[in-house]
């Protein structure tokens, strides 16, 4: 009888571990999807900033002292 209880205990633990692994795997998948979306947005923002900064020549108005100084 004791061995049967131990076997049931082991089977229960394995079932809980299987469920935990499944839940962790699903969460990891969701996080990977979110990371891909965030990386795409980041790349889009970088391209946008570069295109906005591309209109200004190096050493242009941003580096000059205003005429009233």
pLDDT recorded at residue 15: 98
Does residue 64 sit within a domain? no
> How many domains does the chain fold into?
1
Enclosing domain of residue 34: 1-46
Residue recorded with tokens 């242009």:
60
pLDDT digits (tens, 9 = 90+) for 3-55: 999 999 999 999 999 999 999 999 999 999 999 999 999 999 999 999 999 86
Distance CA 34, CA 29 (A): 9
Is 54 domain-assigned? no
Residue 63: inside a domain: no
The answer, yes or no, to whether residue 63 has pLDDT greater than 60, is: yes
Q: Does residue 15 lie in a domain region?
A: yes
Helix (H, G, I), strand (E, B) or coil at 57: coil
């Amino acid at each position: 009888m004791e061995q049967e209880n131990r076997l049931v205990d082991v089977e229960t633990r394995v079932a809980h571990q299987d469920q935990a692994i499944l839940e962790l795997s699903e969460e990891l998948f969701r996080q990977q999807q979110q990371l891909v979306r965030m990386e795409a947005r980041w790349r889009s923002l970088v391209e946008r900033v570069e295109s906005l900064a591309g209109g200004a020549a190096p050493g242009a108005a941003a580096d000059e002292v205003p005429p009233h100084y």
